[in-house]
Chains A and B, each alone.
Chain A
Amino acid sequence: MSDAKLEAVLARLYTDAAFREAFLAHPADTARAAGLQARDVDELARIDREGLELAARSYAHKRSSKTRTAPATALPSSAFGRWWAALRGLW
């Protein structure tokens, strides 16, 4: 599952500033240490650095602007939950 590992590394690059800094300083070593295959290590070393910084900033902004609240009306997921909701609806 090299693609899963690659996406995990990308996700970390987009969200982890320290990891990104280490990668930009030593891309091949960092990518190799993350368990990527050789061809991906080479490709990743040629990453669009400007795009990476822009993307990371954008994702950070998105994460901070999302106000996560507990789902007020999460629909019940279990059979018991649906039964209980139906019973409460009767009342």
Chain B
Amino acid sequence: MAVEADSRDRFGIGYRPELLAGILANLDRLDIVEAVADDFLDHGMHLRALRTLAGQVPLTLHGVSLGLAGACPVEAKRLEAFARWVDFVRPESWTEHLAFVRAGGIEIGHLAAPPRRPATVESAARNVARAARVIGAMPCLENVATLIDPPCSTMSETQWVGDVLRATGAPLLLDLHNLHANAHNFAFDARTYLESLPLHTARYVHIAGGRRVSLGNTGRVRIIDDHLHEAPAAVFELLAVVAERTSQSLTVILERDGKYPDFRVLLDELDRARTAVAVGRGRRVPTSRGVAA
């Protein structure tokens, strides 16, 4: 017997200045907004403004530059600065990526997947534990998309991510387009990946779109997770699978970073996500005690 969709699932969108009018005019259709913490420093936007936004709609703070999965300890001053932002803005949660962003004194400029091996599981776990202690709350950890299969890896992505989650006890921010892109680019099955992941830890889900690029004359194609396009059907199918395989509430956040369509198009995309989650929840089979598996 199918179980009804979890009514506590939430749906929201990433804050961008270009989307704010649509966000504020449609708060009845949005449960949450995600703000990238670094935007508010990189572009001089006032943190106070972010706090005001957090007073209007539930907000989660998304970090992109701590480098929690790096082999080296995250600098104390970065964690302390982030702690001050969290303390000041008072978001409902904070999230970061399982990536490194700097090494050997070099700033890469964005998220890089670290080599997947036991030592990097340990270093990630140490960094996450320290970050949680300094900032005062455990972050949700996001799987990253990568254009290069991290060299010198001895583990699969699903093994590595799973081990980090188990070692840290942190919740998961499952980025389905990142998964979709990696699965395509490195020839593994996304659904099998999901089956191996501790999905009971998933709290947030990202959906987004990307584009395909050809690699020279090889005819091979890779997917770039550029957040400039509508989420593909495969992402919604994966979302339904996640909803089917989880019993906890999920918060689904649509990411769009440019080439903004009319806001109603983005709302339609969120409605597709709602439908996917409802379909997935509807496929859940209750246990013998009547509780959904």
Whether B44 and A48, one on each chain, are in contact in the complex, defined by CB atoms closer than 8 angstroms, is no
B147 and A51 within 8 A (CB): yes
Number of A-B contacts (CB under 8 A): 128
C-alpha gap A12/B81 in the complex (Å): 26
In the complex the two chains form, is A10's CB within 8 Å of B84's CB? no
A54: nearest chain-B partner, CB-CB:
B147
> Given A4-B72, A7-B114, is A75 in contact with B88 using a C-beta cutoff of 8 Å?
yes
CB closest residue in chain B, given A5: B104
Residues in B with CB closer than 8 Å to A71 are 41, 44
Cβ-defined contact, B85 with A11, below 8 A: no
**Range of interface residues on B (Cβ < 8 Å):** 35 or more
| Binary CB contact string for chain B from 109 to 130 against chain A (1 if under 8 A, 0 otherwise) | 1101011010110010000000
Q: How far is the CA of A69 from the CA of B185 in the complex (A)?
A: 35
Indicate if the CB atoms of A7 and B84 lie closer than 8 Å.
no
Find the residue from B48, B148, B216 having the highest chain A CB count within 10 A.
B148
Partner of A9, one of B85, B100, B104, B146: B104
B148: contacting residue among A4, A52, A69, CB under 8 A: A52
CA A69 – CA B119 in complex, angstroms? 36
Q: Identify which of residues 47-89 in chain A touch chain B, using a CB-to-CB cut-off of 8 Å.
A: 47-48, 50-52, 54-55, 58-60, 62-63, 66-75, 77
B44 & A69 in contact (Cβ 8 Å cutoff): yes
- Do the beta carbons of B115 and A15 come within 8 Å of each other? no
Assess whether B215 is in contact with A44, with CB atoms less than 8 Å apart.
no
Does A25 have its Cβ within 8 Å of any Cβ on chain B? Answer: no
Question: How distant is B50 from chain A, measured CB to nearest CB, in Å?
Answer: 10
Given contacts A11-B106, A15-B108, contact A55 B151 (CB under 8 A): no
Instruction: Give Cα A19 to B147, complex, Å.
Output: 19
- Given A71-B41, A71-B44, A77-B81, decide whether A12 and B106 contact each other with a Cβ distance below 8 A: yes
B8 located at the interface, meaning its Cβ lies under 8 Å from any Cβ of chain A in the complex: no
In the assembled complex, which residues on chain A have CB atoms less than 8 Å from the CB atom of B24? none
B151 and A43 contacting across the interface, CB-CB below 8 Å: yes
Contacts of A75 in B (CB 8 A): 47, 81, 84-85, 88
Tell whether, in the assembled complex, residue A40 and residue B152 are in contact, meaning their CB atoms are under 8 Å apart. yes
B104 near A7 with CB under 8 A, answer yes
Report B105 CB to chain A, min CB distance, Å.
8
- Asked if A67 and B152 sit within 8 Å, CB to CB, the answer is no
The reply to whether A66 and B151 form a contact with Cβ atoms under 8 Å apart is no
Interface string of B142-156 (1 = CB under 8 A from A): 000011110110000
Task: List A contacts of B110 (CB < 8 A).
Answer: 58-59, 62-63
Chain B nearest CB, measured from A52 CB (Å): 5
Contacts of B100 in A (CB 8 A): 7, 11
On chain B, the residues within 8 Å of A2 by CB distance are 119
In the complex, what residue of chain B is closest to A16 when comparing beta carbons? B106
Are A4 and B71 in contact, with the CB atoms below 8 A?
yes
Q: Which residues of B contact A70 (CB under 8 A)?
A: 44
* A3/B119 in contact, CB under 8 A: yes
Contact present for B71 and A55 (CB under 8 Å): no
- Cα distance, A40 to B153, chains bound together (Å): 9
Residues of A contacting B220 in the complex (Cβ-Cβ under 8 angstroms): 50
B42 — which chain A residues lie within 8 A by C-beta?
Answer: 66-69
A7-B115, A51-B148, A73-B40 known, 12 other contacts, Cβ within 8 Å: A3-B120, A4-B72, A6-B115, A39-B152, A43-B152, A44-B152, A51-B146, A58-B147, A62-B110, A68-B42, A73-B48, A75-B84
Q: Which of B's residues lie within 8 Å of A, judged by CB?
A: 40-48, 70-72, 77, 80-81, 84-85, 88, 100, 102-110, 112, 114-115, 117, 119-120, 123, 146-149, 151-152, 185, 213, 215-216, 218, 220, 222, 224
